[in-house]
Chain A
Amino acid sequence: MSHNTMNLKLKVWRQKNANTTGAFKTYEVNDISDEMSFLEMLDVLNEKLIVTGDEPIAFDHDCREGICGMCSLYIDGKPHGPWQANTTCQLHMRAFKDGDTITIEPWRSNAFPIVKDLTVDRGAFDRIIQAGGYVSVNTGNAVDGNSLPIEKAKADESFAAAMCIGCGACVAACKNSSAMLFLSAKVSHLALLPQGEPERKSRVLNMVAQMDKEGFGSCTNTGACEAACPKEISIANIARLNKEYLRAGLTAE
């Protein structure tokens, strides 16, 4: 329970809104406890900025327990910072040491335009889901939940893909700004379940088309997305998506 404090230098991207150009600004924060979360450290800085009449740094966050997918931040050259399988909100200052300079950038992708400072617009992800990331079943249509047994291994694999929190770290990590890990997680989640079967082909074709329209790049299988994913979504899902796409494309009418 012993804890240390540290003094840090932060290089933070500041940008007033989508229409202006931004630049890095350097801040110093002192007496940061290593028990703080990274976002709490930014809270401390923001409190200081507000009181001294500066504008606080805008960054997205909500649940602060690693599940809502709202927090982002590209910290020292990695989405969600140095820890593995972790979101920024769960990153704690123990990961840093006294005297460190930390560079904080927003997710960079033309498909994620900057709203302000470190906040970006990830609406593209919602539009990709709108293109087919669902099962078309109206409320009240369902049959009994146990009427259709599902192989446990497949259900588990589907769940592993469905764990995606839609944070966009995969896009931020990818040198091509590709959204394929996000997209493939949804396609896999539904393709592995019998409920997803009837729309299996149209789903993958439409979702890929929407992804292209949103301005994401192509996947070149570098694996950066998987390494940065806070939920460790497997890149095997991308291969599965490719298979689904090929199958759907070749057998289309």
Chain B
Amino acid sequence: MLDSKIPAGKLEEKWVDYKGHCKLVNPANKRKMEVIVVGTGLAGASAAASLGELGYKVKAFCFQDSPRRAHSIAAQGGINAAKNYQNDGDSVFRLFYDTIKGGDYRAREANVHRLAEVSTNIIDQCVAQGVPFAREYGGLLSNRSFGGTQVQRTFYAAGQTGQQLLIGAYQALERQVALGNVTMYARHEMLDVVKIDGKAKGIIARNLITGELERHFGYAVLLCTGGYGNVFYLSTNAMGSNVTAAWKAHKQGAYFANPCFTQIHPTCIPVSGDHQSKLTLMSESLRNDGRIWVPKKQNDTRKANEIPEDERDYYLERRYPAFGNLVPRDVASRAAKERCDAGYGVGTSKQAVYLDYAAAIERYGKTEVSKQGLSNVSQEQIIALGKEVVKEKYGNLFDMYAKITGENPYEVPMRIYPAVHYTMGGLWVDYELQTSVPGLYALGEANFSDHGANRLGASALMQGLADGYFVVPYTLGNNLADEIYNTPIPTSHPAFEAAEKAVADRIHTLKNINGKQSVESFHKRLGKIIWNECGMSRSEAGLKQAIADVQALKKEFWSDVKIPGEINEYNPELDKANRVADFIELGELMCVDALNRNESCGGHFREEYQTPDGEALRDDENFMYVAAWEAKGEHEWQLHKEELKYDVIKPSQRNYK
């Protein structure tokens, strides 16, 4: 059984107690201690900056050309915090409760409560950094509701909250760079963790410009490398987002927890063809006013506007009369897939459903008519007035849709389809965010800890910053206090030498395969396998087939991949090959995990485990645990279970009928 090191005591006192009793490193010693941070998104940049401020000598790594590019930047909606500025009944407990429930009771109570506690500090910190959050006319911070919660606790900066928060953290990081506390290594990719006496003591990184391998020592290694959504090839992740750092850690002994918990977002712009390289998310808020439908006839080739009202199937309203178009993300996504699979999909690919604003436009138009006291208005005038209102509320999203698809969403219904956009699974960490390898930590989306089987909207930014600004500065010190007696290890140590050689060998092997197929083509094939069998719905037979397919793909990859260019130069194809090789292995583990979890919960839907009317069926008796996988060898993993104990919250079944 895994020890998650959760402090004893009452839930709401655990973190306070921990902070009061954890060991500290004195400032003079901090100056001597090097710490490695990999990744510079919200978690990485905030951790690197905060640790630099404390006096540690930090080395930060990112594969992009600047730390400001990390994909946290793309988050649109906002960041939750239990400030209760709106006086609408929010509290730390309520945020904690919503997060546990939203995660379908597969997250750890102590971690989530701590997250809710520090959420308020995050907002204060960001404001102090100069993050321009949206404000009311009185000059105070504005909030909106998000993701169906009953309180307004989401802070936002238009549709660019992630960008503004990341820039805040990036600026704090650059300040530490200027002060000499942090050394920044941009265009560097971590390719292995170096372990000495069972502890993580450094990394091997590749300079992506020169191709050189570098050895870096650190008393601790923090992985803040994001999620692995790109295993699906098509996702809303950035092109470069990858699992490599986390996977290398996994191969070095860090357990990988709940890899099958992935989140599929229901409102994305659908795939337009085989050339598609990534998917773009459209804010969930569109479901507040849009109606989702497909034709009642299979393979209907008529244009949307030519299909009469009584031949349209508003399937969410039909199946979930109580919540209608506002059911949670996982439910909405699965329902869209069900319709498309049954042959009712629309568009050229038939893998899309309509999100229709015609009714909303008319409704808003009529409201405007009565508001302005107009009489004798024609239908056209009503529509024109309605379009104005819709434009005001959703204009930027409609523009984005028009830019990508070339269609005018004010005239024709938008086509949407679910897409992968977040992974709840990740490296297993204890309460201190330390993985099963001592000295190796995982923060933000890279760990598994806070979102259970499904993440609520506006919670990813919160978790990344909580881990980096307010959790790891304490927990790292608690562990490094014992390390001060150990002198730094020179990178000429045999362990570094061996690790570097292993990395170099692998790169040479990859490069020398000299096959016929491009890296991209393998990635696409992997994505198709995982999307079809380990995507929105999974089955035992499908997963078994997928495991076999992925294993075969791995073999083919290692015998037929073609990488152009040289090793010792800027070679994006080689970088990609390194990443795809790891995605293939992860893909297999995802299927193994999904196959093991004989229940449906959150983003994980097993076809065998559903209610008679097609809803997810959880099995708390047998699966209320975190599945942490230990790498044992090729295609081999050992399962370690961390029992989830709910002392405060009583799990219940979700119902949206």
Partners in one complex: yes
Interfacial residues, chain A to chain B (CB-CB below 8 A): 1, 3, 16-17, 33-37, 39-41, 43-44, 47, 49-51, 53-56, 58, 60-65, 67-70, 83, 86, 90, 92, 94, 115-116, 119, 121-123, 125-126, 129-131, 133-146, 148-152, 155-156, 158-159, 162-163, 165-166, 189-190, 193, 195-196
Minimum CB–CB distance from A196 to chain B (whole Å) comes to 6
If the complex has contacts A50-B573, A68-B71, A152-B135, are A37 and B564 also in contact, measured as CB distance less than 8 A?
no
A-B pairs, 7 with minimum CB distance: A149-B139, A134-B171, A142-B128, A142-B124, A159-B132, A130-B178, A145-B127
Mark interface residues in B106-127 (1 if CB within 8 Å of A CB, else 0): 0000000000000001011111
Q: Which of B65, B133, B404, B562 sits near A90, CB closer than 8 Å?
A: B404
Q: Is the CB of B157 closer than 8 A to any CB of chain A? A: yes
Q: Is the CB of B588 closer than 8 A to any CB of chain A? A: no
Q: Collect the chain A residues with CB atoms within 8 Å of residue B129's CB.
A: 134-135, 137, 195
B137-172 CB contacts (< 8 Å) to partner A: 137-141, 157-158, 160, 162-164, 167, 170-172
Residue of A nearest to B470 (CB): A139
If the complex has contacts A35-B406, A135-B130, are A58 and B238 also in contact, measured as CB distance less than 8 A?
no
Residue of B nearest to A210 (CB): B178
Can you identify 12 A-B contacts, CB atoms within 8 angstroms?
A35-B275, A47-B521, A50-B564, A68-B69, A69-B69, A94-B406, A116-B570, A133-B171, A134-B172, A134-B175, A142-B127, A146-B140
Q: Is the CB of B622 closer than 8 A to any CB of chain A? A: no
Minimum CB–CB distance from B335 to chain A (whole Å) comes to 23
Q: Is the CB of B565 closer than 8 A to any CB of chain A? A: yes
Residue of B nearest to A139 (CB): B50
Contact, CB under 8 Å: A34 / B64: no
Extra contacts besides A37-B277, A122-B65, A149-B138 (12): CB < 8 Å: A33-B272, A36-B272, A36-B273, A64-B277, A68-B71, A115-B570, A137-B172, A138-B53, A143-B128, A159-B134, A159-B158, A162-B167
Task: State in angstroms the CA–CA spacing of A199 and B562 once bound together.
Answer: 53
If the complex has contacts A43-B275, A63-B238, are A70 and B74 also in contact, measured as CB distance less than 8 A?
no
Q: Collect the chain B residues with CB atoms within 8 Å of residue A55's CB.
A: 564-565
Contact, CB under 8 Å: B124 / A123: no
Residue of A nearest to B569 (CB): A17
Task: State in angstroms the CA–CA spacing of A145 and B141 once bound together.
Answer: 8
Contact, CB under 8 Å: A129 / B130: no
B373-416 CB contacts (< 8 Å) to partner A: 403-407
Minimum CB–CB distance from B76 to chain A (whole Å) comes to 9
Q: Collect the chain B residues with CB atoms within 8 Å of residue A56's CB.
A: 564-565, 572-573
Q: Collect the chain A residues with CB atoms within 8 Å of residue B175's CB.
A: 130, 134, 136
Q: Is the CB of B512 closer than 8 A to any CB of chain A? A: no
Q: Collect the chain A residues with CB atoms within 8 Å of residue B70's CB.
A: 68
Task: State in angstroms the CA–CA spacing of A107 and B283 once bound together.
Answer: 32
Q: Collect the chain B residues with CB atoms within 8 Å of residue A44's CB.
A: 275
